[in-house]
Amino acid sequence: MANMKIIARIIKFELKKILSSKLTIGALIISYLILIYSFVPNIFKYTFYDDDGNLIKRKQAVNYEKEFYKEYLNQVQTDERIRANIENLKEHYIVENNKTGFEYDKALPKDIYYEYYKPRESYFHWLAQNFISGPYPHILMIEFDELGDFYVHRQKNCETWFDSMNLTSTEREFWQQRANITKGPYQYGYYQGWNYINDSLDIVVFLVLAIGIGISGVFSEEHETGMDAILLSARYGRTKLVTGKITASLIFAIVVVLVGLLLCVVPILLFFGTEGWNLPIQVLDAKILYNWTLLKTIGIRIFMSFLSALAVATIALSLSSKIKKTTPVAVIVILFYLGGLFIPVERGNRIFQKITRLLPAFLSGRQYYGLVTYSFFGKVLTFYHMAIAVYILLILILLPLSMIFFKKHQVE
């Protein structure tokens, strides 16, 4: 019990040290502001049109849109229903009036545009993405007779995708099974809240950077000030101090991400509601091959965000325990993390692509859009399974090494 109290005091002291850095506080404030800015303007500017073409704003727009979806779009989208929806537009569509390809308000009668097309705009974009691989709903009307079955076309898209990738026979068989499992038909509906959360989770990269900056000096600052020799020769220096430093760093990383998630998830769900949590991930893009609901998708992305934060924190700790200056540690962490975003992962051989995909910068991203797999002895692992295994192992290796490296400072 006494040992736990001592470690608790050390953790509290180390957290205060981390948060006493103006650079760390500045990085956190900027990261949180960027995160908030990723969705707040969308809330204040959110609009929807009623049947008469009147612009409705903010919460009233959300409520109206929900009622519309509940009445017309919260349905399983069979191919028959999809074709009927497109045909309803086609009957009123005047090709010549849509000169740029995006002037739907001119190519459709006003009542049809506002009563039928505008409320279903994202739905028709979703259909166009599957049929013609682009946000061009007017092509759906122009080429209506040649479109074919929505779900047959989806499966053909997957096969074309597989052909374009350098997949092994085992990998191709794996993704073909995934394609069959997720072939539809799909339930469609209102999911704006989860869509905005999904967008905001992309901003976690800034929070992870702030974490790396904040932890960079945990061990190296002691060497810079000459305190390492004193601390390590003290009564609690060898074990409890190092344990407290590492624990405080990991708590800092978790809390930073947790606060960021609360700042975006809570306001977004309060404004847009939780509707759509049980919709399949294919409502984002029919070509996605993961059998997840939107709730599971967000849950997995949140978990990967925490894993990314812990991975960068662990890397920063190991560097800080080995390198004697704080600034080089922070620079290396930043370059290592951000550098991954600029690596042309689609180039090079397959081994290079698979390795670079496992860099920390990609952990919290939208990897469910890809076909990244890892094969071992006939067993195929997705990016998520592989990343979790690699980084848990990395954390378990680097944390003890950080303790060993710092303890050697006294000898030096």
Whether 306 shows a pLDDT value over 90: the answer reads yes
What pLDDT is recorded for position 198?
A: 94
Tens digits of residue pLDDT in 205-214: 899 999 999 9
Portion of the chain with pLDDT greater than 90, in percent = 46
pLDDT of residue 92: 86
In the structure, what pLDDT confidence band is assigned to residue 347 with cuts at 50, 70 and 90? low
Token reading at 379: 């067993």
pLDDT score for 192: 94
Task: Give the pLDDT of residue 327.
Answer: 85
Q: What is the pLDDT of residue 3?
A: 65
| Res 226: pLDDT | 53
Neighbours of 28 (CB within 10 A): 22
Confidence check: pLDDT of 228 > 70: no
Is the per-residue pLDDT at 250 higher than 80? yes
The 10s digit of each residue's pLDDT in 143-177 is 888 888 999 999 999 999 998 888 888 889 999 99
As beta bridge partners, residue 48 has: 56
pLDDT at position 243 is 83
Confidence band for 234, pLDDT divided at 50, 70 and 90: low
Share of the chain above pLDDT 70, in %: 92
pLDDT digits (tens, 9 = 90+) for 362-402: 888 899 998 888 888 778 889 999 999 999 999 999 988 88
pLDDT band at 235 (very low <50, low <70, confident <90, very high): low
In the prediction, which pLDDT does 255 show?
A: 95
Q: What's the whole-number mean pLDDT along residues 126-139?
A: 86
Cβ atoms of 233 and 296 within 8 Å: the answer is no
Please work out, in degrees rounded to the nearest 5, the angle formed at the alpha carbon of residue 200 by the alpha carbons of 196 and 202: 130
In 3D, which of 105, 103, 83, 108 has the Cα closest to residue 93?
A: 108
User: Would you mind telling me the total number of residues written for the chain in this entry?
Assistant: 412
Predicted pLDDT of residue 62 = 92
- pLDDT tens readout for residues 21-68: 888 899 999 999 999 999 999 899 999 988 778 888 999 999 999 999
Residue 303 is predicted with a pLDDT of 95
pLDDT at 4 over 80: no
Confidence at residue 348, expressed as pLDDT on a 0 to 100 scale: 56
75 or 51: which carries more pLDDT confidence? 75
Mean pLDDT across 130-147: 84
What tokens appear for 346 in the block? 């689609």
Residue 309 has pLDDT above 60, yes or no: yes
pLDDT in the model for residue 409? 57
pLDDT category at 178 given cuts 50, 70, 90 is very high
Q: What's the CA gap between 408 and 122, in Å, rounded?
A: 60
CA separation for the pair 277, 191 (Å, rounded): 7
CB contact at 8 A, 352 and 339: no
Query: For all residues of the chain together, what is the average pLDDT?
Result: 86
CA distance linking residue 291 with residue 307, whole number of Å: 22
Instruction: Report DSSP state, residue 186.
Output: E
The mean-pLDDT minimum among 61-75, 93-107, 184-198, 306-320 falls in 93-107
Q: What is the pLDDT of residue 80?
A: 93
Asked whether the bond before 185 is cis by omega within 30 degrees of 0, the reply is: yes
